[in-house]
Amino acid sequence: MSKKRVLSGIQPTHDSFHLGNYLGALKQWVEFQKDSDAFYCVVDLHALTVETDPKLLEKRTLLSVAQLLAIGLDPKQCTLFIQSHVPAHNQLAWVLECITGFGEAGRMTQFKDKSQKGGTDRTNVGLFTYPILQAADILLYQADFVPVGEDQRQHIELTRDLGQRFNNKYHEVFTIPAPQIIKSLAKINDLQDPNAKMSKSASSMAGVIELLDSSDAIIKKFKSSVTDAGKEIKFDEQGKPGISNLLTIASALSGKTIKDLENEYAGKGYGDFKVQVAEIAVEVINPIRIRTQELMADKAALLQLLKDGADKANQVASKTLADVYTALGLIKNG
């Protein structure tokens, strides 16, 4: 039986990925590469929806690639590339834009949230069409699965709708992808605001654990995390969102169950527990930071690896795009 195809992407909008990205999505990426045909991309074109200094975007794109390798992606087991190296992403996005309703795109909650936060002056058309470019990213590779966090569920639904719409209207070209969301890890929350998602664009990074944070910074952030009234270390998302978030993080990083952790810390105070979770996090994150720094020292090797990835990605993407153009009645050149 042929391997299932997997596709996912991440934006280079910040120097460092955070623990939410890692546990909600990236850790699954590493698992999927073992027995699927996995395509992973750093979606630099998506990052243009946020105003970024060109030098910074270049640096962040390479840092993103280095971090993905440092967490365990292996270019021998997956295809790792940069979105802008495959022109078919923009070409398919245009086709999909032409079958997307204006109201349909306007209903995307991420667009509503981000445009509200940014205000009319800073909201560009790219932010509005972002989910359609994302649909193109996925459909081009005929992906069966898309490992993502909960915040991406609505975008994957749109991708499925657009793929089905095209297949019904023109020709059966696209595989319809399913989101792969691990419920318990789908939303890692901010340590300072345990009811809000940990996010790269948080107004303060005090509650965001970054993969490139030093050990001291990680310990400090965990120690000052917001917890709840009471003393018991118990999982209760409604009544104890802070402690529940810490338990989720500790469980995902250590491989222990939440029940085991509750038993282990029974009778201990919040202070001790926070330090223990910090130590678990440092143990996982430290090697990622050190490996990222090593990989960043050889830019030529990163660029070569990305070139190889783009060659493989272009082969698959250009075949899908050719099928789409034929289905639409666009005449072949030559």
Q: Would you name the residues annotated as active-site residues? A: 114, 197, 200
> Is 207 a residue that touches ligand AQP (CB under 6 A)?
no
Q: Is 137 annotated as a binding residue?
A: yes
Q: Is 149 annotated as a binding residue?
A: yes
Q: How far is CA 103 from CA 99, 110, 268, in A?
A: 12, 14, 52
Minimum CB separation from ligand AQP for residue 268, in Å? 26
Residues 134-153 that bind ligand AQP (CB under 6 A): 148-149, 151-152
Is the Cβ of residue 6 or residue 173 nearer to ligand AQP in the bound state?
6
Residues 58-117 that bind ligand AQP (CB under 6 A): none
Minimum CB separation from ligand AQP for residue 130, in Å? 10
Is the Cβ of residue 25 or residue 310 nearer to ligand AQP in the bound state?
25
Closest CB to ligand AQP: residue number: 24
Minimum CB separation from ligand AQP for residue 323, in Å? 27
Q: Is 197 annotated as a binding residue?
A: yes
Minimum CB separation from ligand AQP for residue 7, in Å? 11
Residues 163-192 that bind ligand AQP (CB under 6 A): 186-188
> In this structure, what token pair is assigned to residue 27?
């850790």
Phi and psi at residue 325, to the nearest 5°: -60, -40
Residue choice 160, 200, 240, 289 for contact with ligand AQP (CB under 6 A): 200
Contact 240, 209 (CB under 8 A): no
Instruction: Report d(CA 110, CA 23) in Å as an integer.
Output: 20
Q: E strands within the chain?
A: 5-10, 37-42, 78-82, 145-147, 178-180
Binding range to ligand AQP, per CB under 6 A, among 17-25, 51-59, 89-97, 169-177: 17-25
Q: Is 20 annotated as a binding residue?
A: yes
Q: Is 298 annotated as a binding residue?
A: no
Is the Cβ of residue 37 or residue 193 nearer to ligand AQP in the bound state?
193
Is the Cβ of residue 187 or residue 274 nearer to ligand AQP in the bound state?
187
How buried is 179 (Cβ within 10 angstroms: 0-12 exposed, 13-18 middle, 19+ buried)? buried
Residue choice 6, 16, 21, 250 for contact with ligand AQP (CB under 6 A): 21
Closest by alpha carbon to 45, among 101, 124, 110, 98? Answer: 124
Q: Is 150 annotated as a binding residue?
A: yes
Say how many residues make up the chain.
Answer: 334
> In this structure, what token pair is assigned to residue 187?
């939303």
Contact 245, 191 (CB under 8 A): yes
How buried is 170 (Cβ within 10 angstroms: 0-12 exposed, 13-18 middle, 19+ buried)? middle
Q: Which residues pair with 197 in a beta bridge?
A: 189
User: What residue has token string 């999982």?
Assistant: 235
Instruction: Report d(CA 99, CA 282) in Å as an integer.
Output: 47
Residue choice 10, 158, 249, 295 for contact with ligand AQP (CB under 6 A): 10
Instruction: Report d(CA 244, CA 181) in Å as an integer.
Output: 19
Binding site for ligand AQP (CB under 6 A): 10-11, 13, 20-21, 24-25, 148-149, 151-152, 186-188, 197-201
- Annotated binding residues for ATP, written as ranges, equal 11-13, 20-21, 149-151, 188, 197-201
- Annotated binding residues, written as ranges, equal 11-13, 20-21, 137, 149-151, 188, 197-201
